[in-house]
Amino acid sequence: MQIKANFDRGFYSIFQFLLIPVTGLVCLSSIVSLQRNQLTAINQSHPEKYAKQEQAQKIKLNLLNNIPTFGFSNLVANWAFLDFIQYFGDRPARNQTGYNLNSKYFKTIVKHDPHFVDAYLHLAPATSLFSGKPKTTVSLMTKGLQSISPESPKSYLVWTYKGVDELLFLGDNQAAQKSYETAAEWAKYHDDKISKIIGDRARETADFLAINPDSKQAQVSSWMMIYSNSRDEAVKELALKRIEALGGELIITPNTITVKMPE
């Protein structure tokens, strides 16, 4: 069996209207710059830099999570996401302190911009696999999905990632089946080839779960979703190992990624 895997009143009124958000952005930018300078100083001068860096990042996250955004919440979410990418990619630091802040980045981004679909695709596996908090991942995706519409680009992927966590980490196969079914329905709102492929795979996975809740094919399909969409090599390597442990053989061609399962 094969499972196939990408926004007048004159100058004074205008000035008043612009002054508050611009001032807010300047303040926010200054805070972020100050925190970065602190982090740089820590990295260069303190032998226990990783622990202090972690504490400074935690303080910055608290600021980003609670600071007034003056209508620029999506900008705050973008800053938080870029900071997460740097945090997650700092392997020497993560080897020392772990990935405890992944879920805090996730919470901040969902709070400020729940429509930020691409962020879910990084933070969901990072929070579940590296922080060991799949319940938090599912909870944050459930909250974010209340603001996401089926027409949003790649919105169906949030449902598939939710299904992945429910199936592989929480053992809630019934919830996973519903998530995959919803992903398949949302994929129908998009006409591109990739959406159709992922929608079909989500439907197949839901069907597998309906017949056999412990289906290895369903589990392999979930790991394939992680492998195909992750941009982090450590996540891809882990997904590949899990696929192979389930008896799957990964076949990569220029146009497709296929997993061959034993009959």
Q: Is residue 210 pLDDT above 80, yes or no? A: yes
The stretch 45-49 carries a mean pLDDT of: 59
Q: What is the reported pTM?
A: 0.70
Long-range contacts formed by 77-81: CB under 8 A, 24+ apart: 77/108, 77/109, 77/112, 77/113, 77/116, 77/119, 78/113, 78/116, 79/28, 79/32, 80/105, 80/108, 80/109, 80/112, 81/105, 81/109, 81/116, 81/119, 81/122
Model confidence band, residue 249 (pLDDT cutoffs 50, 70, 90): confident
pLDDT tens string 1-42? 454 443 343 323 322 332 333 334 344 444 444 445 544 444
